[in-house]
Amino acid sequence: MAIINPLYKVLGRSPIKPMQQHMGEVVTCVKFLEGFFKASNSGDWQLASTVYDQICASERAADELKKQIRLHLPKSLFMPMPRTDLLDLVTTQDRIANGARDIAGLMLGRNMTIPESLQDCGMAFLKTAIAATEQAFVAINELDELLETGFGDREVSFIATLIEALDELEHENDQLEQDLRKKLFAQEASLPPVDVMFLYKIIDTVGEMADNAERVGARLQLLLAR
């Protein structure tokens, strides 16, 4: 006798755990960048290449998770949050990992080393971007508690404080970005022009990573407000 249990078929697969796993993978991916910058700063391109491979592997893993989430979110699913918000959220999360891969790929491909005078400032700038991503993960990790309370006010306002902290980190990242640009501008005449061009590009992309982390928070806020 086959087992008929309509009940377990009614209960669909929760997208929350996969969303959290995806964000976890994004954080792993972004964190590799720190090691990558260290390697490139010291000109160790062999190590940089190994780290780059790790970044790519992690980015691919995140991509796969993203695909699985999309595949398992059919329109017929009835969820406490809008499906489109979840899909936007996972896309935004994924962009952070894509940014990390682009940065490492560009730097490795051109064997770019950040000028020594900018290295400390650059590292600080990267670290706030990583911190913003981690903070976004903290907020995403509250999704299951949010569901547990049935979107209770208390949990919603708790997540709001987490998102505020995320905004704060992004703001800090913006400030550091401005400083870094100013410093680069001051010495750009003495550097090879093509290098300068790409340095601006790297700064842009790191800043974008933090922006996307903030956008994850914004999406989450949209998801809460219904």
Residues 125-164 that bind another protein (CB under 8 A): 141, 144-145, 147-155
- Residues numbered 37 to 76 that lie near another protein (CB under 8 A) are 74, 76
Asked if 10 is part of the footprint of another protein (rule: CB under 8 A), the reply reads yes
CB of 142 to another protein, least distance (A): 9
**Residue 2 sits in the site that holds another protein (CB under 8 A):** yes
Nearest CB to another protein, comparing residues 14 and 175: 14
Go through 88-109 and write b for each residue having 16 or more CB atoms within 10 A of its CB, e for each that does not: bbbebbbbbbbbbbbbbeebbe
Q: Rounded to the nearest 5 degrees, what angle is found at the Cα of 175, between the Cα atoms of 220 and 214?
A: 10
Residue 150 or 193 with smaller CB distance to another protein: 150
Q: Which is nearer to another protein, 147 or 218 (CB)?
A: 147
- Is the CB of 74 or the CB of 193 nearer to another protein? 74
Residue 138: other Cβ atoms inside 10 A? 15
Q: Could you tell me how far CA 118 lies from the centroid of its own chain?
A: 24
Instruction: State the first-to-last Cα distance of the chain, in angstroms, to the nearest integer.
Output: 45
